[in-house]
Structure formats: structure tokens, C-alpha cells
Structure 1
Amino acid sequence: MKNLGYYNGKIGELESMTIPMNDRVHWFGDGVYDAGPSRNYNIFALDEHVDRFFNSAALMDIVMPVTKDELKELLQKLVLMVDTGDLFVYYQVTRGTGIRNHAFTEGPGNLWVMLVPATVSDGTEPIQVITEEDKRFLYCHVKTLNLLPSVLAAEHAKRAGCKETIFYRHGGRVTECAHSNCHILKDGKLFTAPTDNMILPGIARAHLIRKCKELGIAVSETPYYLKDLMEADEILVTSSSNFCLRVDHVDGKPVGGKAPELYEKIRKAVVDEFLEATNKPVSEKAES
């Protein structure tokens, strides 16, 4: 298959898949999701993503229709059905099917999977971003399907010819981006927002922090502000689609560029981890 969709046991190319109208996702966006890259049919950091997926469901009182092991086995099986092993692996669970009612639908949720060809950026090309007030609700630590503020912010960035929108709360505290985490380098240290309910605890963020510590780079998980952002030595954006990107313009103003060697050391460490973990095709692993 060139791409793949899965819904409660039904499998097909995305263009042929249909979903019941009474799935609660249509009425309420009632569900949670997770996603990450696959290379050579290896799903990267799968345990971490599945753990976060199940945690998001538990925080929203959604009953999972599968166990963690069953989900991981299913995802690997589905990945092997696609023509290329370089994919974006997306999965979500919605709170069941029933006539529209704000109160919960009883029973297990509906499991969706989407696989599309994709590759991860190596982070060598800088990106441009805009800033925007963070108007999302206070469940940002849960990876829910309620993404309208992020959709609007992503469109605003696109119209401005930029790749991302960096959010800030009242008082100028930087939180994260429309669909990424945001960090700064200053005086040889990494500063990143704390994992409270203002940001999603990104998997790429966690890998970035671990690699910095391995490299002897101090990490401070504390709030920072727009002024700090604009005066940073470097601004980093991380996600499961793009492990480590460098920002060179914010709202049309040049930023960063003061610690290129440090950025390169971090970028290489993060990308190399992904390449090493996914270097050997799954088919070869099965034979060895």
C-alpha cells in the first residue's frame, strides 16, 4: 500500500476508509493521539510514545480497546504493509460511538491508525517562525484532538511564509509551538519550559534533554520569556517529525546564530541517535 488507514480492525488505503458518523470525534473532538517516525520499518521510540498515548487516555478517562503490547504489535504489523518503511506513524483513540451527548459514551474507545510516507529533517537548514498569544485551554500536557488554536496558529505561520508559531502566555512566558516544543541556548546552557499543564511533554524534547546532559550541557527546565527568546544564543524547535531545528528569524527579526558549534553538536547527537536506532531494516532483524 502507498499509505494505510486502520479503524477498529478495518484496513485499507486512506482514500477508501470510512468512519461512522456517530464516532464522538466528529461532534466533540473527543479523543487523544500520538505519533512518531518510522525508518526502515523501525518505529522510533515506540515504547515512549505508547506510554504517553496511554497516559493521555487515562487522564481523559478514555477506555483503551487494546493493551500497550497489543498496540505495539499492531503498529509494527501495519508498518510492514506499506510500500516504504520511512513513514509518519499516527494513532488515536476516540471515546466510542453513540448519539451526540456531552456525557461520556460507555465502553471502550475506537482505535484509528494512519501511516503516510515521510522523512525526518536533519535540522541543517534554519527555519523562520512567528509569535502569537497562547489561547489554548489548560490541558496542553494531554495530547488531545482539540487542536483548533494550533491549526489557526499553523495557518498564520504558513501565511507569513514561516514554519512554526511560538506561543506565549500572559506576561510573555514562552510555552511551546503550534505543534513543537521550543527551547533556547544561552551561555552554553539549554533552557526549556517546565512540564506543567502549559506544554506537552514532547518525546523529542526528552531526547534533546538527555543528549544535552550526555554532552555535559547544563539543562534548566524553568520558565523563560519573549525577551529571553529574542536575546538567546540559539532558538531550538523539536518534535517527533523534526528532532532538532534552529530558528534564525522571529517575527521577521534575525535571532540566534551566536552558538553554531554548540547547536551542531546537539543536532548531530539527536539525529545520530535516530539513525543508529533505525539503521537496520526490520526484515533483516527478523533473519538475524
Structure 2
Amino acid sequence: VDREQAAVSVADKGLLHGAGLFETMIARSGGLWRLAAHLRRLRQSAEALHLPLPSGLDRLGGVALELLQRNRLSDARLRLTLTAGPDPQADSDEPRPTLLLTAGEHRPYPEQLYARGMTVLIAGQHQDPSNPITGHKTLCYLPRLLALHEAQRKACQEALFFTPDRRLAEGCVSNVFLAKDGVLLTPSTSTPVLAGITRQAVLELAGSLSIVAEQKPLSVNDLLEAEEVFLTSVGLGVMPVCRIERHRVGDEQPGPITRRVSEALARLIEDETRG
């Protein structure tokens, strides 16, 4: 369907109430990266949040590849959006969830960010563990966008959330890792944080690189005492963080663990998307 002709119902609960989920995915050389993991997370979140799922999700891989081919895309960014659909007209009506899949050209972040590292802000608002949507990739994204806007207003590129009891959680659009004394640390998903697809890939890679990785509660002191900090997402890959507001991380350069993980992730994505 042409972009200008695509439409959703004015009664769609995703549009009216933010009742929905989304997945951001990438393709390299025409191959989708970890589609099964994205769909598994989508199903788990839909079940947890009582959102209906459409039939035919298992055929999405073929649909996505056709979408890439029709748009002549090789390296691409895809978004899968699921909403609860319009309200049933009668109690006996079956749910009619809306499923949208879009694709566009891959636009990488500037190389200078990877060379110099990002500057991040400590977000003013907290990540609330009691909120049922925390830890899920929902359409209720405005609080994160506002925090990101505030970070950008203060010459930062991302903001980090903490819980009310001062545990490090995640970024607006990313998971966070710390490195200290050769050990890689990241908040556990029970914090709660989003179970990021790239986050999981990095944890897997750590073992193959003989890097000890731990998922555990982390404090602001852990963050400030870290020798290295980096962010992960499918869009970012591995993004070094060299400044936390005015605080310098390490020697203010991407560190050795960050570089090793970044290079290993790039190889992994290439291997897993090769036709």
C-alpha cells in the first residue's frame, strides 16, 4: 500500500488511547536481523498487556522481504506496529487488531558520535516499576520523547532513567551497559527495563569474547565510577557514552570493551543477515 493511501480507523484504540506495541527492526543486505526475537517479544508483551494478536504473524517474514523488494531497499529500518484496533460494535464481535509494517532507508547515526561518544543527561522523571507498561515497547512514548527533547535542549543526545529507589534503568530509546574492572554490567530486566534485542545479542557476545557479563541492580555511583559506558539498540548498535552531563567517563574516549563489543556485533549482524 502506498504511504499516502495507508489508513487506520478513527476508532482505533491505538490512535485514541495508545493501546498498542511496536518493534523497530533492521535489514542488512536485504536480510532481516532477528525477526523471530522481535516477534517473540511482541507476543509476550501483547499477552502481558491483554492486547489481541492478528492471525498470520508467522508469515510476516515473507511479507517483510516483499516490502523491502518492492521499495528496492537493501539496508533498511522497519517498524512493525500493533494496535488493539477499533472497539467491537457488539459484545459478540471478535477483536480486529491493526498491524502495520513500514520500511525506509537506513540512516545511520553520525560517525563522529561513535568516535567521540554521546553525552547523556540524567532524566528528571523516574521509571516507575509499578506502571504495567514499563518494560514493554508500547505506543505510549510521549514521556520518553519529552525526556529526549529535554536532553537535546541541554546539548545531550540521550537521557538515562532511574527508578524511584535510585536504580539505573535505561535510556529513552536504548539499553545501557557499564564496564568496570573488565566486567560488563547492565540492569536486569526485572528492574524493569525493556528486554532489548541488541542488549541480548551483546550479552551473548560477551561470552564469546571472554568478557564476564552481569545483570544486576546498579546505582548512580556505579554509573559515575564506570570506566566505560555504552548504549545499545537496533538503531544505535553499540554507541559509546563518554560524558554524563559534565562528568567524563574514563578518558572520554570509547574504551577497549566498547570497541570489541561494537566490532563483534557488526560481524554478528552481517553473519546473521547474509543470504
The answer for the alignment partner of 1:12 in structure 2 is: 2
Answer yes or no: is 1:212 the counterpart of 2:203: no
Distance 2:2 2:47 in 1: 29
TM-score, normalization: structure 2?
A: 0.89
2:70 is paired with a residue whose SS is coil
Answer yes or no: is 1:46 the counterpart of 2:35: yes
CA pair 212-248 structure 1, distance change in 2 beyond 3 A:
same
Aligned-pair CA distance for 1:99: 7.8
Which digits, 9 at most, give the CA deviation of each residue in 1:127-159, with x for residues without a partner?
Answer: 111011324534222221111211111111121
Give 1:131's aligned amino acid: I
Determine which of 63, 69, 80 is the counterpart of 1:80: 69
The answer for the alignment partner of 1:128 in structure 2 is: 119
CA pair 147-112 structure 1, distance change in 2 beyond 3 A:
same
Answer yes or no: is 1:232 the counterpart of 2:226: yes
The answer for the alignment partner of 2:97 in structure 1 is: 109
Distance 1:86 1:276 in 2: 14
Which is worse superposed, 206-215 or 54-63?
Answer: 54-63
Aligned-pair CA distance for 1:21: 1.0
1:80 is paired with a residue whose SS is helix
Distance 1:57 1:93 in 2: 9
Distance 2:82 2:43 in 1: 10
Distance 2:199 2:190 in 1: 14
Aligned-pair CA distance for 1:203: 0.5
Q: Is the 8 A contact 2:135 2:195 kept in 1?
A: yes
Which digits, 9 at most, give the CA deviation of each residue in 1:233-261, with x for residues without a partner?
Answer: 10110001011111011113211338822
The answer for the alignment partner of 2:183 in structure 1 is: 189
The answer for the alignment partner of 1:249 in structure 2 is: 243
Give 2:211's aligned amino acid: I
Give 1:12's aligned amino acid: D
The answer for the alignment partner of 1:262 in structure 2 is: 257
Which digits, 9 at most, give the CA deviation of each residue in 1:158-190, with x for residues without a partner?
Answer: 212221101111232110000100110010001
Q: Is the 8 A contact 1:59 1:142 kept in 2?
A: no
Q: Is the 8 A contact 1:184 1:190 kept in 2?
A: yes
The answer for the alignment partner of 1:4 in structure 2 is: none
Give 1:175's aligned amino acid: A
| Identity %, equivalent residues | 23
Q: Which runs of 5+ in 2 are unaligned?
A: none
Aligned-pair CA distance for 1:108: 3.3
The answer for the alignment partner of 1:275 in structure 2 is: 270
When the two chains are superposed, the root-mean-square deviation of aligned CA atoms in Å is 2.2
Report the count of equivalent residues. 266
Which digits, 9 at most, give the CA deviation of each residue in 1:34-53, with x for residues without a partner?
Answer: 12111121111111111111
Which digits, 9 at most, give the CA deviation of each residue in 1:50-81, with x for residues without a partner?
Answer: 11111111212222112332122222221221
Distance 2:64 2:126 in 1: 33
1:171 is paired with a residue whose SS is coil
Distance 1:48 1:204 in 2: 10
Distance 1:23 1:214 in 2: 45
Q: Is the 8 A contact 2:169 2:191 kept in 1?
A: no
Which digits, 9 at most, give the CA deviation of each residue in 1:192-237, with x for residues without a partner?
Answer: 1011162000000000111111111111110101111011010110
Which digits, 9 at most, give the CA deviation of each residue in 1:4-55, with x for residues without a partner?
Answer: xxxxxxx112x44332211111210001111211112111111111111111
Q: Is the 8 A contact 1:139 1:198 kept in 2?
A: no
Distance 2:167 2:179 in 1: 16
Q: Is the 8 A contact 2:73 2:104 kept in 1?
A: no
